Amino acid sequence: MQNGMLANISKMFITYGPTFEHYERLELYVYIYPVSLLTAFMIIGLIGNCFVLYIFIKQWERNKTSVFIITLAALDVVNCSLIIPVEISVFARPFTYDHDVLCKISRCLSFIVTANYSFVLVTVAYDRYLMVCKPLKRITYGQRYAMRACIGATVLAVVTQWPALVIYGTSTITLPVPKNSTETDDNATEIHYFVQGKTCHVTNYYDEVDKIPKLLFLGFLMGGHVIIFGTLIVMYMVIGNRLFLSSFVDILDNSGHASGLLKLGIVSAITGTAAKGKIPSCSHQTGTFSADPSQSPKKKNTLARAQSADEAEKADVKWRRSLEDHRISIGPLATGNDSERFKYKRSVSTPEEDNVFETSGDKNGVDLVPQSEGLSPALCGSSMNVSMAHTSAPHRQAKPGGDLKELSLKKNTLIMRMVTFMFILSYLPYLILVMLRYVDGDIPKKLPTNLKILYHVFLKSYFLNSVSRPFIYIAMNEQYRSKLLKLICRWR
């Protein structure tokens, strides 16, 4: 009797035995690579972030930025100690993972941690924006603001991600056995064999019966990630552009080069530095910067006629006072309002509260900026913008980046920007693959073995976010690196 004449087709599901174990071993061959990667992530991330927590809790003065760093490190520890082990166990038992409650808790916690990352980093970006672009507002945000913001981010993450507790759970998966194993019984019934197992994924009900809650939740997640990523990128480009303009461009002296400022600002916004050869040079001559164009020749002549050290000193003091008067006239100090003057003086110098990463020598208030041997230079390399204006006396040696506190502000911003960009880059492969998977659910099954390995490796790329953060602090901050080395040497 031909197969086409068979009246009945029957399905047989294999849930144990040699065939079941054979197919599970085939899956393990693919999963061994992501399991190895996740194991390395778990160990390295747990050790690195425990060091971060210990140093910033025990050895660092508590301030606004350290609160953000401690919060991110705590989330990383949760990722490495609770979520990654569950992911490893799911990969290690591809067809026999049947722990519904643990699956729900793990998946929901994973979504909460991810959302918490996003909200905290948006808060950090907003704080950096105020620090650089709105200095008169930043003084109202301190350590209490950071703590409340982190708590609020956690609450918001729980409120928006709780549906994962319902949608995810134990899911039944079915793999067809090749057709050559199909049999026909005495009743002319064609029997098809399937390997059936269980894993941690979207439950069968929301994956096959009622798909609307799953689609709404995943659509909300995708849209939220796009909005947050776009917001973070735009904010840090604006911050980087402002840092560049404030650090390297003197508007009064470089008005003729405005056409090139936008390009340099964008480069700085992305890289955090200015291209070599593009930084305006800082002259040590008195006439380089003229606070008032009408007074510049007079100042030059006065200093040129100085016949003695006393006369030169008097002329220099007069010149500096004139320059200081001009600087004051362009800021809030010109209003005569005591409260505005107090806010302005606090805003233009970066307080300890805002600088968790101190520049070497600045911790004790020691000025390591070299003094000029000749006459006092102008404030070369300053944009005269109130957000980055210097309160130090103009006799300091002007240099790109401003004084040490301004350098500390810039360094803090660059570190937090690197943390944010690493977060975005680590999640991009995961988001792209998930979008493709929900467009065509059979994509993983259609891939050859090599591509399937890459698929599952990049599907867990977002855990790199938890591993990379300690290395960013080590690479970009000398003080943290020094404390870490001392801690390791002491424990040895």
Give the 3-state secondary structure of residue 397: coil
Per-residue pLDDT reduced to its tens digit, 186-225: 555 677 788 888 999 889 898 888 889 988 998 899 899 9
The mean pLDDT value for 10-19 works out to 82
Whether residue 342 is predicted with pLDDT greater than 80 in this model: the reply is no
**What are φ and ψ of residue 468, in 5° steps?**
-80, -25
Q: How many residues does the chain have?
A: 492
Is residue 303 within 8 A of residue 285, CB to CB? The reply is no
Whether residue 269 is predicted with pLDDT greater than 90 in this model: the reply is no
Whether residue 325 is predicted with pLDDT greater than 60 in this model: the reply is no
Q: What is the pLDDT of residue 143?
A: 79
Range 3-210+443-491: architecture per CATH: Up-down Bundle (1.20)
The amino acid at 342: F
53-57, 181-185, 219-223, 387-391: range with lowest mean pLDDT: 387-391
Q: What is the pLDDT of residue 468?
A: 92
Q: Which residue stretches of 272-331 are H helix?
A: 296-304, 309-329
Q: What is the pLDDT of residue 260?
A: 53
Per-residue pLDDT reduced to its tens digit, 77-97: 999 999 999 999 999 998 889
The amino acid at 491: W
- For the record, the structure tokens of 249 come out as 């461009």
Mean pLDDT of the chain: 72
Strands 189-202 and 8-14: parallel
Q: What is the pLDDT of residue 264?
A: 54
Nearest to 107 by CA among 214, 229, 27, 29: 214
- Predicted confidence band of residue 165 (pLDDT cuts 50, 70, 90): very high
Higher-pLDDT residue of 69, 386: 69
Contacts of 234 (CB under 8 A, 6+ apart): none
* CB neighbour burial string for 391-415, b if at least 16 within 10 angstroms, e if fewer: ebebebebebbbbbbbbbbbbbbbb
- For the record, the structure tokens of 181 come out as 């194993």
Q: Put residue 477 in one of left, alpha, beta given phi > 0 → left and psi -120 to 50 → alpha.
A: beta
The mean pLDDT value for 228-248 works out to 81
Instruction: Show the beta-strand stretches assigned E in 166-219.
Output: 168-176, 183-184, 189-202
Strands 189-202 and 183-184: antiparallel
The amino acid at 315: A
Could you report how far apart the first and last alpha carbons of the chain are, in Å? Answer: 79
Nearest to 203 by CA among 272, 300, 100: 100
Angle at 254 between CA 252 and CA 258, to 5 degrees: 115
Per-residue pLDDT reduced to its tens digit, 457-470: 999 989 999 999 99
* CB neighbour burial string for 78-90, b if at least 16 within 10 angstroms, e if fewer: bbbeebbebbbbb
Q: What is the pLDDT of residue 239?
A: 84
Quick one: which H or E segment has residue 192?
Answer: strand 189-202
Residue-range domain boundaries for the chain: 3-210+443-491, 236-408
The mean pLDDT value for 350-373 works out to 41
Quick one: which H or E segment has residue 11?
Answer: strand 8-14
Cα–Cα distance measured from residue 264 to residue 261, given in angstroms and rounded to the nearest whole number: 5
Q: Which long-range contacts (CB under 8 A, 24 or more apart) does 388-392 make?
A: 388/132, 388/135, 388/242, 388/243, 388/246, 388/247, 388/348, 389/327, 389/331, 389/348, 390/348, 391/345, 391/348, 391/349, 392/367
Is residue 367 within 8 A of residue 113, CB to CB? The reply is no
Cα–Cα distance measured from residue 210 to residue 208, given in angstroms and rounded to the nearest whole number: 6
Per-residue pLDDT reduced to its tens digit, 410-459: 777 888 888 989 999 999 999 898 888 877 777 877 888 889 899 999 99
CA dihedral 442, 443, 444, 450 (to 10 degrees): 140
Whether residue 242 is predicted with pLDDT greater than 60 in this model: the reply is yes
- For the record, the structure tokens of 489 come out as 């040497």
- For the record, the structure tokens of 334 come out as 């010109």
Is residue 77 within 8 A of residue 54, CB to CB? The reply is no
Burial bucket for residue 270 (CB in 10 Å: 0-12, 13-18, 19+): middle
Higher-pLDDT residue of 280, 406: 406
The amino acid at 358: E
Cβ–Cβ contacts within 10 Å for residue 335, how many?
A: 11
Q: What is the pLDDT of residue 117?
A: 94
Considering the entire predicted model, what is its pTM? 0.69
Whether residue 402 is predicted with pLDDT greater than 50 in this model: the reply is no
Q: What is the CA radius of gyration of the chain?
A: 31
- Predicted confidence band of residue 74 (pLDDT cuts 50, 70, 90): very high
Whether residue 35 is predicted with pLDDT greater than 90 in this model: the reply is yes
Contacts of 7 (CB under 8 A, 6+ apart): 188, 189
Is residue 14 within 8 A of residue 177, CB to CB? The reply is yes
Q: What is the pLDDT of residue 33?
A: 92
Whether residue 112 is predicted with pLDDT greater than 60 in this model: the reply is yes
Cα–Cα distance measured from residue 83 to residue 105, given in angstroms and rounded to the nearest whole number: 9
